[in-house]
Amino acid sequence: MSDTGLWDGCPRCKNREMTRVTIDLTFHQTTDRGRVTCCVAVPRSICPLCGFEVIDADAERLMDEAARQAYDKLPPRTPEDK
């Protein structure tokens, strides 16, 4: 979920304050050249009352960049890969 509605507080319980933390996130992405594993520090917002967690556009941008960098390190496809 992106940062839609965060200015109104928690989307679940409507608590007005969200706590922003940074976490290390490891994820896998399948590409046309194979699978990549990425590890990146991303910001997320957590409601201290109900525990609802939200990643925002900055986190999504960091994840996209990590996946692109990992993709760029993969060997190019060969005609035999088709």
pLDDT tens across 62-80, in order? 999 999 999 999 998 877 6
Reported as a single tens digit per residue, the pLDDT across 33-53 is 999 999 999 999 999 999 999
pTM (predicted TM-score): 0.73
- Sketch the domain layout of the chain as residue ranges: 6-75
15 phi and psi angles, rounded to 5 deg? -55, 135
- Per residue, the 3-state secondary structure of 11-70, as one string, reads CCCCCCCCEEEEEEEEEEEEECCEEEEEEEEEEEEECCCCCCEEECHHHHHHHHHHHHHH
Q: Is domain 6-75 given the CATH code 3.10.20 in the classification?
A: yes
